[in-house]
């Protein structure tokens, strides 16, 4: 793309970030609930929101998914899907005690971080988990090794970190953080613990990184950046922060096109549009239609990466497919 920045004489235009929207982990998790409903009929219980998006949760609820906060709210013997954000081992234990049939839709990239936590706990490291306090993913990862993991919720938390042996410390992270803020947190941690080890591979996932890179590329040319995503979606909220720090005049997080305030558009020429990793494309299309009705017909895609990654369905659903395709005696 060859954006040249906005000025008052330019026509109204939209810059549309790519990649945006669904990542491979969200796609798989939503499909898992749909397949579970198809295979078993309603109700299918889902612990927590399957992904952090209001539209997705409402649509699945209309089709018979029942969202609960904890596995002990699920009737004994029923089917429960664990969300893309992952769960602590204690949740698996509760489900087993209640005889629940579980389908684990934890994103494989979250599972990778769980494995890292287990591995470094076994080697008796102090693990500094950079992430947001109270986020489901962080609770799940920390739950793998509660005696070894300490949460570090941004640079302000660094001063209070205590470790047993500064020679044996590693940092891991939530998958959906701001890359820049995380690097700042790590820089501060390393000042205190020069021997701090890096994770074996990036924990902030490809989808989070790609969406932030795309927003950075367009934000400096935008008077306004609209991020489609829900308030509890970590990666969506980060896109607003990244847009603002990359030079957007303003940026707002919206679930639906109907939330756009006409005042935001006053005096605006170039509007950037993107969406978080849990957002279906139809919600972005609604925003583009809203803008087109108000004169923003010229849409230019700002593409910074191609995404081709896909994940196979959770094991429990794959097994069922295999079992169905076995010839009967
Ligand atoms: Fe997986 Fe990343 Fe998508 Fe989260 S945002 S579900 S970690 S691919």
Mean pLDDT across the chain, nearest whole number? 94
Tell me if 173 CB under 6 Å of ligand 1. no
Residue 135: its H or E element: none
Tell me if 212 CB under 6 Å of ligand 1. no
Tell me if 204 CB under 6 Å of ligand 1. no
CA dihedral (231, 52, 20, 292) positive or negative: negative
- Given a contact cutoff of 8 angstroms between Cβ atoms, the answer to whether 201 and 209 are in contact is no
pLDDT at 150 over 90: yes
pLDDT score recorded for residue 321: 56
Using DSSP's 3-state secondary structure scheme, residue 15 falls into: strand
Band of residue 154 on the pLDDT scale cut at 50, 70, 90: very high
Which parts of the chain fold into alpha helices (H)? 24-40, 54-62, 89-97, 108-122, 136-142, 179-192, 206-219, 234-245, 262-265, 281-293, 315-325
- Given a contact cutoff of 8 angstroms between Cβ atoms, the answer to whether 114 and 169 are in contact is no
CA dihedral (271, 277, 280, 281) positive or negative: positive
Write down the pTM of the prediction.
0.93
Taking alpha carbons only, the member of 273, 270, 208, 215 closest to residue 245 is 215
CA of 53 to the centre of ligand 1 (A): 13
Tell me if 26 CB under 6 Å of ligand 1. yes
Using DSSP's 3-state secondary structure scheme, residue 277 falls into: coil
Taking alpha carbons only, the member of 46, 83, 82 closest to residue 61 is 46
pLDDT tens digits, one per residue of 215-235: 999 999 999 999 999 999 999
pLDDT score recorded for residue 53: 97
**C-beta atoms surrounding 275 within 10 Å:** 28
DSSP 142-210: HTTSTTTEEEE-SGGGGGG---S-TTSEEEEE-TTS-HHHHHHHHHHHHHH-TTPBPPSS--S-HHHHH
Tell me if 208 CB under 6 Å of ligand 1. yes
pLDDT score recorded for residue 4: 40
pLDDT at 284 over 60: yes
The strand pairing partners of 301, in sequence order, are 16
Tell me if 25 CB under 6 Å of ligand 1. yes
Catalytic residue among 49, 136, 137, 144: 137
pLDDT score recorded for residue 257: 98
Is 116 among the catalytic positions?
no
- Given a contact cutoff of 8 angstroms between Cβ atoms, the answer to whether 204 and 179 are in contact is yes
CA of 180 to the centre of ligand 1 (A): 18
Length of the chain: 329
Tell me if 46 CB under 6 Å of ligand 1. no
CA of 187 to the centre of ligand 1 (A): 24
Average pLDDT over residues 137-151: 98
Average pLDDT over residues 159-169: 98
pLDDT score recorded for residue 3: 42
Band of residue 323 on the pLDDT scale cut at 50, 70, 90: low
Which atom of ligand 1 has the smallest separation from the CA of 110?
7
Band of residue 189 on the pLDDT scale cut at 50, 70, 90: very high
CA of 112 to the centre of ligand 1 (A): 11
Average pLDDT over residues 175-198: 97
Which atom of ligand 1 has the smallest separation from the CA of 24?
8
The strand pairing partners of 243, in sequence order, are none
Whole-number Å distance between alpha carbons of 220 and 1? 13
Average pLDDT over residues 182-207: 98
Which atom of ligand 1 has the smallest separation from the CA of 26?
6
pLDDT at 108 over 80: yes
Pocket perturbation via mutation, ligand 1, pick of 50, 56, 107 by most ligand atoms within 8 A of CB: 107
* Residue of minimum CA distance from atom 2 in ligand 1: 205
* Residue of minimum CA distance from atom 1 in ligand 1: 25
pLDDT at 326 over 80: no
Band of residue 10 on the pLDDT scale cut at 50, 70, 90: low
pLDDT at 118 over 60: yes
Average pLDDT over residues 1-21: 73
């Amino acid at each position: 793309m060859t954006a040249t920045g906005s000025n008052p004489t330019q026509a109204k235009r939209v810059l549309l970030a790519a990649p945006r929207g669904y990542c491979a982990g969200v796609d798989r998790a939503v499909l898992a609930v749909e397949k579970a409903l198809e295979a078993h009929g309603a109700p299918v219980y889902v612990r927590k929101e399957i992904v952090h998006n209001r539209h997705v949760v409402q649509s699945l609820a209309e089709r018979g998914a029942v969202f609960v906060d904890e596995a002990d709210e699920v009737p004994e013997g029923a089917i429960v899907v664990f969300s893309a954000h992952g769960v602590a081992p204690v949740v698996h234990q509760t489900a087993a005690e209640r005889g629940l049939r579980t389908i684990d839709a934890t994103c494989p990239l979250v599972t990778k971080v769980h494995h890292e936590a287990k591995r470094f706990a076994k080697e008796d490291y102090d693990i500094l988990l950079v992430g947001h306090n109270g986020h489901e993913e962080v609770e799940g990862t920390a739950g793998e090794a509660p005696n070894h993991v300490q949460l570090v919720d941004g640079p302000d938390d660094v001063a209070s970190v205590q470790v047993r042996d500064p020679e044996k410390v590693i940092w891991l992270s939530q998958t959906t953080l701001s890359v820049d803020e995380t690097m700042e947190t790590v820089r501060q941690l390393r000042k205190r613990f020069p021997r701090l080890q890096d994770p074996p591979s990036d924990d902030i996932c490809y989808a989070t990184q790609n969406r932030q890179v795309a927003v950075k590329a367009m934000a400096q040319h935008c008077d306004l950046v609209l991020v489609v995503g829900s308030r509890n979606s970590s990666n969506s909220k980060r896109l607003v922060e990244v847009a603002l720090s990359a030079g957007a005049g303003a940026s707002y997080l919206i679930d639906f096109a109907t939330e756009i305030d006409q005042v935001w558009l006053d005096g605006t020429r170039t509007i950037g549009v993107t969406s978080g990793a849990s957002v279906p494309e139809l919600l972005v299309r609604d925003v583009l239609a809203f803008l087109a009705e108000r004169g923003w017909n010229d849409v230019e895609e700002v593409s910074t990466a191609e995404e081709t990654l896909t994940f196979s369905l959770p094991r429990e659903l794959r097994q069922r497919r295999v079992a169905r395709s076995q010839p009967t005696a």
